[in-house]
């Protein structure tokens, strides 16, 4: 029997195409410059700055997708801890006391197969190690080696995002949340990091897992990650600007 008359290859091919649709949507957005403007337009000078920063960087970086990776000898001794270093959250404290064995990353929203991942499962997936500069908007920077799972692989573990997903929102145990468009989500250096300078991520730096999103400055690199949600719009997230820091008035896209 030729393939043409056999229902089986056709069905599996169709299923393949359907699951590939989510992924290729991701890959397509990742291949061009992505969105050129932030999801929410603010008025006045700050609004103009929002748009100029993001548009300029996206266009400048269109053909240079990776941020600079440094040499091991550039690593800053004693990477600082900044902001929250020990979330005052009952669930977090319980998980911390149990060495995060019970920690489960929730992956939901507009994904094909909502799921959870344990720390061991995450560590068993594809890993990426990168030595990059962290630039905090509050006036310091430091270089560190981060090891983690690419965010695309984490979404793939949930069957990939559905075609209507436009943003991915991460939430943390201290109540922080940050949203990203697909350009940053599929960026090869966007990882959920569980390792810092070859060791387990210390609590102060966001244990068990923190985001590294290298095109953004410090505050978008969410620590203490609890869940990941793919969404069509950021309107219902916090005050609707796409992240806790932009809700407070910082740029949604500040670049680094
Ligand atoms: N959940 C959460 N993530 C966070 C913060 C925070 O207070 N809570 N601080 C941010 C800021 S302003 C910076 S500069 C970095 C600091 O990361 P570090 O503590 O590893 O230096 O984490 C960012 N991510
Ligand atoms: Mo920061």
Span 39-62, pLDDT tens digits: 888 888 888 888 888 888 887 777
* Ligand 1 touching residue 173 (CB < 6 A): no
* Ligand 1 touching residue 245 (CB < 6 A): no
51 CA distance to ligand 2 centroid (A)? Answer: 21
85 CA distance to ligand 1 centroid (A)? Answer: 8
pLDDT digits (tens, 9 = 90+) for 197-256: 999 999 999 999 999 999 899 999 999 999 999 999 999 999 999 999 999 999 988 877
C-alpha R_g of the chain:
19
219 CA distance to ligand 1 centroid (A)? Answer: 6
Q: What average pLDDT does the structure give for the chain?
A: 87
- Superfamily of domain covering 13-247: Oxidoreductase, molybdopterin-binding domain (3.90.420.10)
What is the rounded distance in angstroms from the CA atom of residue 246 to the CA atom of residue 110?
Answer: 23
| Residue that is written with structure tokens 């299923």 in the block | 15
Q: Which of 32, 60, 54, 29 has the alpha carbon at shortest distance from 41?
A: 54
Instruction: Tell me the domain boundaries of the chain.
Output: 13-247
Q: Specify the higher pLDDT residue, 89 or 17.
A: 89
Which residues does 43 contact at the CB level (< 8 Å), separation at least 6?
Answer: none
Residue 212 belongs to what H/E stretch? strand 210-212
pLDDT digits (tens, 9 = 90+) for 5-39: 333 333 333 343 333 434 444 444 434 567 888 98
- SS3 at position 230: strand
**Atom 21 (ligand 1): residue with closest C-alpha?**
81
Best residue among 79, 81, 83, 89 to mutate for probing ligand 1's pocket (most ligand atoms within 8 Å of CB) is 83
């Amino acid at each position: 029997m030729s393939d043409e008359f056999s229902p089986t290859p056709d069905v599996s091919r169709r299923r393949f195409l359907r699951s590939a649709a989510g992924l290729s949507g991701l890959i397509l957005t990742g291949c061009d410059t992505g969105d050129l403007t932030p999801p929410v337009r603010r008025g006045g000078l700050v609004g103009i700055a929002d748009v100029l920063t993001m548009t300029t960087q996206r266009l400048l970086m269109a053909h240079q997708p990776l941020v600079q990776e440094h040499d091991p000898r550039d690593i800053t001794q004693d990477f600082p801890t900044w902001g929250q270093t020990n979330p005052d959250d009952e669930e977090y404290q319980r998980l911390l006391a149990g060495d995060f064995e019970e920690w489960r990353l929730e992956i939901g929203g507009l994904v094909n197969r909502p799921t959870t991942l344990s720390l061991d499962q995450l560590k068993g997936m594809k890993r990426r190690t990168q030595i990059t500069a962290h630039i905090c908007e509050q006036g310091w920077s430091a270089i560190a080696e981060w090891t983690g799972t690419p965010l695309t692989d984490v979404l793939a573990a949930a069957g990939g995002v559905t075609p209507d997903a436009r943003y991915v929102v991460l939430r943390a145990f201290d109540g922080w949340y940050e949203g990203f468009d697909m350009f940053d989500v599929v960026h090869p250096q966007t990882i959920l990091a569980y390792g810092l300078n070859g060791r387990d991520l210390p609590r102060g730096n966001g244990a068990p897992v923190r985001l590294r999103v290298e095109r953004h400055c410090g505050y978008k690199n969410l620590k203490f990650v609890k869940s990941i949600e793919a969404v069509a719009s950021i309107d219902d997230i916090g005050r609707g600007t796409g992240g806790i820091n932009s809700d407070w008035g910082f740029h949604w896209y500040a670049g680094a």
